[in-house]
Structure 1
Protein backbone atom coordinates (compact mmCIF):
# COMPACT_ATOMS: atom_id res chain seq x y z
CA UNK A 1 0.00 0.00 0.00
CA UNK A 2 1.13 3.50 -0.78
CA UNK A 3 2.86 4.93 2.33
CA UNK A 4 0.91 8.16 2.13
CA UNK A 5 -2.46 6.48 2.50
CA UNK A 6 -3.39 7.03 6.13
CA UNK A 7 -4.54 4.34 8.53
CA UNK A 8 -8.12 5.41 7.73
CA UNK A 9 -7.65 5.37 3.96
CA UNK A 10 -7.39 9.12 3.43
CA UNK A 11 -4.67 10.11 0.97
CA UNK A 12 -2.14 12.23 2.88
CA UNK A 13 -0.72 13.54 -0.40
CA UNK A 14 -3.99 15.46 -0.88
CA UNK A 15 -3.95 16.96 2.63
CA UNK A 16 -3.27 20.68 2.76
CA UNK A 17 -1.04 20.23 5.85
CA UNK A 18 1.13 17.75 3.93
CA UNK A 19 1.28 20.04 0.88
CA UNK A 20 2.24 23.04 3.05
CA UNK A 21 4.93 20.97 4.76
CA UNK A 22 6.62 19.55 1.68
CA UNK A 23 6.52 22.95 -0.05
CA UNK A 24 7.43 24.90 3.13
CA UNK A 25 4.48 27.15 2.30
CA UNK A 26 3.76 29.50 5.22
CA UNK A 27 0.89 31.19 3.36
CA UNK A 28 -0.87 27.84 2.95
CA UNK A 29 -0.15 27.01 6.61
CA UNK A 30 -1.94 30.22 7.61
CA UNK A 31 -4.94 29.43 5.37
CA UNK A 32 -5.21 25.86 6.65
CA UNK A 33 -4.86 26.92 10.30
CA UNK A 34 -7.63 29.49 9.88
CA UNK A 35 -9.92 27.05 8.05
CA UNK A 36 -9.33 24.17 10.47
CA UNK A 37 -9.77 26.50 13.47
CA UNK A 38 -13.18 27.57 12.15
CA UNK A 39 -14.18 24.03 11.18
CA UNK A 40 -13.26 22.52 14.54
CA UNK A 41 -14.04 25.50 16.77
CA UNK A 42 -10.57 25.33 18.29
CA UNK A 43 -7.47 27.50 17.96
CA UNK A 44 -4.99 26.03 15.49
CA UNK A 45 -1.83 27.99 14.76
CA UNK A 46 0.09 27.95 11.46
CA UNK A 47 3.01 26.36 13.36
CA UNK A 48 0.81 23.30 13.94
CA UNK A 49 0.35 22.80 10.21
CA UNK A 50 3.29 20.49 9.61
CA UNK A 51 2.79 16.86 8.64
CA UNK A 52 4.63 14.28 6.56
CA UNK A 53 1.81 11.73 6.65
CA UNK A 54 0.26 9.60 9.33
CA UNK A 55 2.01 6.29 8.58
CA UNK A 56 5.50 7.60 7.78
CA UNK A 57 8.32 8.93 9.94
CA UNK A 58 8.44 12.65 10.43
CA UNK A 59 6.50 15.55 11.83
CA UNK A 60 2.73 15.38 12.26
CA UNK A 61 0.02 17.83 13.21
CA UNK A 62 -0.86 17.61 16.93
CA UNK A 63 -4.23 16.07 16.06
CA UNK A 64 -2.75 13.43 13.78
CA UNK A 65 0.08 12.65 16.17
CA UNK A 66 -1.71 12.44 19.52
CA UNK A 67 -5.46 12.88 19.24
CA UNK A 68 -6.69 10.97 16.18
CA UNK A 69 -8.56 7.96 17.62
CA UNK A 70 -8.16 6.04 14.35
CA UNK A 71 -4.37 6.41 14.29
CA UNK A 72 -4.09 5.59 18.00
CA UNK A 73 -6.18 2.42 17.56
CA UNK A 74 -4.19 1.26 14.54
CA UNK A 75 -0.87 1.87 16.32
CA UNK A 76 -2.04 0.09 19.50
CA UNK A 77 -3.13 -2.92 17.44
CA UNK A 78 -0.04 -2.86 15.23
CA UNK A 79 -2.13 -2.54 12.03
CA UNK A 80 -0.59 -1.36 8.77
CA UNK A 81 -3.96 0.30 8.07
CA UNK A 82 -7.52 -0.14 9.28
CA UNK A 83 -7.96 -2.71 6.51
CA UNK A 84 -6.06 -5.13 8.77
CA UNK A 85 -8.88 -4.94 11.33
CA UNK A 86 -11.76 -7.40 11.05
CA UNK A 87 -14.05 -4.75 12.60
CA UNK A 88 -13.34 -2.09 9.94
CA UNK A 89 -16.71 -2.39 8.19
CA UNK A 90 -18.72 -1.37 11.27
CA UNK A 91 -16.13 0.78 13.01
CA UNK A 92 -17.64 3.86 14.64
CA UNK A 93 -14.29 5.66 14.41
CA UNK A 94 -14.27 5.35 10.61
CA UNK A 95 -17.91 6.21 9.89
CA UNK A 96 -17.36 9.95 9.43
CA UNK A 97 -14.29 9.40 7.24
CA UNK A 98 -16.11 6.98 4.95
CA UNK A 99 -19.26 9.13 4.80
CA UNK A 100 -17.25 12.19 3.77
CA UNK A 101 -14.70 10.56 1.49
CA UNK A 102 -15.60 7.65 -0.81
CA UNK A 103 -11.97 7.22 -1.78
CA UNK A 104 -10.87 6.46 1.80
CA UNK A 105 -12.87 3.24 1.85
CA UNK A 106 -11.79 2.39 -1.71
CA UNK A 107 -8.14 3.01 -0.83
CA UNK A 108 -8.35 0.49 2.01
CA UNK A 109 -10.42 -2.12 0.15
CA UNK A 110 -8.51 -1.78 -3.12
CA UNK A 111 -5.21 -2.81 -1.66
CA UNK A 112 -6.43 -5.74 0.40
Structure 2
Protein backbone atom coordinates (compact mmCIF):
# COMPACT_ATOMS: atom_id res chain seq x y z
CA UNK A 1 0.00 0.00 0.00
CA UNK A 2 1.25 3.48 -0.82
CA UNK A 3 1.83 5.84 2.11
CA UNK A 4 -1.34 7.69 3.10
CA UNK A 5 -0.44 10.82 5.03
CA UNK A 6 -3.18 12.84 6.71
CA UNK A 7 -3.00 16.60 7.22
CA UNK A 8 -1.80 16.07 10.80
CA UNK A 9 1.00 13.81 9.62
CA UNK A 10 -0.51 10.51 10.76
CA UNK A 11 0.12 7.54 8.43
CA UNK A 12 -3.21 5.78 7.86
CA UNK A 13 -1.53 3.03 5.86
CA UNK A 14 0.35 1.95 9.00
CA UNK A 15 -2.76 1.84 11.21
CA UNK A 16 -4.35 -1.57 11.81
CA UNK A 17 -7.77 0.11 12.05
CA UNK A 18 -7.55 1.70 8.60
CA UNK A 19 -10.29 0.28 6.38
CA UNK A 20 -7.99 -1.16 3.70
CA UNK A 21 -5.87 -2.89 6.35
CA UNK A 22 -8.97 -4.39 8.00
CA UNK A 23 -10.25 -5.64 4.64
CA UNK A 24 -6.87 -7.23 3.86
CA UNK A 25 -6.56 -8.79 7.31
CA UNK A 26 -9.76 -8.90 9.43
CA UNK A 27 -7.81 -10.24 12.43
CA UNK A 28 -6.39 -6.71 12.84
CA UNK A 29 -9.62 -5.69 14.55
CA UNK A 30 -9.25 -8.33 17.27
CA UNK A 31 -5.54 -7.51 17.69
CA UNK A 32 -6.36 -3.85 18.29
CA UNK A 33 -9.23 -4.62 20.65
CA UNK A 34 -6.96 -6.89 22.72
CA UNK A 35 -4.01 -4.48 22.60
CA UNK A 36 -6.02 -1.44 23.64
CA UNK A 37 -7.49 -3.42 26.53
CA UNK A 38 -4.07 -4.67 27.64
CA UNK A 39 -2.31 -1.29 27.49
CA UNK A 40 -5.08 1.26 28.06
CA UNK A 41 -7.74 -0.67 30.00
CA UNK A 42 -10.66 -0.22 27.63
CA UNK A 43 -12.16 -2.55 25.10
CA UNK A 44 -13.75 -1.54 21.85
CA UNK A 45 -15.69 -4.36 20.15
CA UNK A 46 -13.60 -5.62 17.21
CA UNK A 47 -16.42 -5.03 14.71
CA UNK A 48 -16.40 -1.32 15.65
CA UNK A 49 -12.70 -0.96 14.84
CA UNK A 50 -12.60 0.38 11.31
CA UNK A 51 -11.60 3.81 10.07
CA UNK A 52 -11.96 5.36 6.61
CA UNK A 53 -9.34 8.01 7.34
CA UNK A 54 -10.25 11.61 8.12
CA UNK A 55 -9.63 12.84 4.59
CA UNK A 56 -12.34 10.61 3.11
CA UNK A 57 -15.77 11.97 2.24
CA UNK A 58 -18.20 11.32 5.13
CA UNK A 59 -15.65 9.18 6.97
CA UNK A 60 -16.32 6.53 9.58
CA UNK A 61 -13.70 7.29 12.23
CA UNK A 62 -12.42 5.65 15.39
CA UNK A 63 -11.78 9.03 17.08
CA UNK A 64 -14.89 11.17 16.71
CA UNK A 65 -13.40 13.86 18.97
CA UNK A 66 -10.22 14.48 16.97
CA UNK A 67 -9.13 18.08 17.58
CA UNK A 68 -6.88 18.05 14.52
CA UNK A 69 -9.90 17.63 12.26
CA UNK A 70 -11.49 20.70 13.89
CA UNK A 71 -8.47 22.81 12.94
CA UNK A 72 -8.41 21.35 9.44
CA UNK A 73 -11.96 22.57 8.91
CA UNK A 74 -10.81 26.04 9.98
CA UNK A 75 -7.90 25.80 7.52
CA UNK A 76 -10.12 24.70 4.66
CA UNK A 77 -12.54 27.57 5.26
CA UNK A 78 -9.74 30.14 5.71
CA UNK A 79 -8.16 29.67 2.28
CA UNK A 80 -6.45 31.46 0.68
CA UNK A 81 -5.30 32.72 4.09
CA UNK A 82 -2.66 30.33 5.44
CA UNK A 83 -3.13 29.12 8.99
CA UNK A 84 0.12 27.96 10.70
CA UNK A 85 -1.52 24.69 11.76
CA UNK A 86 -2.30 23.74 8.16
CA UNK A 87 -0.15 21.62 5.91
CA UNK A 88 -0.60 22.12 2.20
CA UNK A 89 -0.19 18.94 0.22
CA UNK A 90 -2.37 19.02 -2.90
CA UNK A 91 -0.66 15.96 -4.36
CA UNK A 92 -1.59 13.91 -1.30
CA UNK A 93 -5.17 15.20 -1.36
CA UNK A 94 -5.51 14.11 -4.97
CA UNK A 95 -4.84 10.53 -3.87
CA UNK A 96 -7.95 10.47 -1.65
Which residue of the partner structure matches residue 30 of structure 1?
A: 30
Query: Are 1:16 and 2:16 an aligned pair?
Result: yes
Unaligned runs of 5+ in 2: 91-96
Q: CA deviation at 1:30?
A: 0.4
Q: 1:45 to 1:5 in 2, by over 3 A?
A: same
Contact 2:50 2:60 in 1 (8 A): yes
Aligned length: 83
Q: Radius of gyration: which is bigger?
A: 2
Contact 1:51 1:59 in 2 (8 A): yes
Using structure 2 for the length normalisation, give the TM-score.
Answer: 0.62
> 1-side partners of 2:3 and 2:56: how far apart?
7
Kindly indicate whether structure 1 or structure 2 has the higher relative contact order, using CA contacts under 8 Å at least 6 residues apart.
1
Unaligned runs of 5+ in 1: 89-107
Q: 5 Å matches for 1:1-112?
A: 4-18=4-18, 19-20=21-22, 22-23=23-24, 25-57=25-57, 59-63=59-63, 66-78=64-76, 85-87=83-85, 111=89
Q: CA deviation at 1:73?
A: 2.3
Using structure 1 for the length normalisation, give the TM-score.
Answer: 0.55
Q: 1:62 to 1:14 in 2, by over 3 A?
A: closer
